[in-house]
Amino acid sequence: MKPEELLYAETHEWVHVDNSSGDKIATVGISSFAVEQLTDLVFMELPESGTTVSAGSEFGEVESVKAVSPLYSPVDGEVVSVNSSLPDNLEILNEDPYEKGWIIKVKLSGEESLTKLLDFAAYQKQCSENG
């Protein structure tokens, strides 16, 4: 996935929505900017499939040598798939945060939260201002 085509939460998660299977499925990851800011990742905790998530709520956490950072869901829905190989291979987040580094897939229960997300340009602007 190209970063330019994704939507972003202010908390640095990215979202890609796919309609092709009938259900709307959102793939969620964290941006390369976030990975770079975190550095030295050592641990990641992910939810189980079937967990209900809502926009703005914590669905997991990622830990670096220095600190723990919560992962916030950018969307409302049910987790239908989890990238379970990621916690043992956190370097994937550095190498390929937008493809192999996806974190969860969520079957959307509504689309309202999508309207609150930033497009690439707006997200870039946020990063350069607050980086």
Q: Under the rule (CB under 8 A), what is the footprint of another protein?
A: 37, 39-40, 42-43, 45, 61, 63-66, 68, 130-131
Q: Least distance to another protein from the beta carbon of 68, Å?
A: 7
Cite the beta strand spans of 37-112 per DSSP E: 41-45, 52-53, 58-64, 68-72, 77-82, 104-108
Q: Least distance to another protein from the beta carbon of 78, Å?
A: 23
Q: Closer to another protein at the Cβ: 50 or 131?
A: 131
Q: Closer to another protein at the Cβ: 67 or 121?
A: 67
Q: Which amino acid is at 100?
A: K
Q: Closer to another protein at the Cβ: 37 or 109?
A: 37
Q: Least distance to another protein from the beta carbon of 108, Å?
A: 28
Contact predicate 102/28, CB 8 Å: yes
Contact predicate 18/24, CB 8 Å: yes
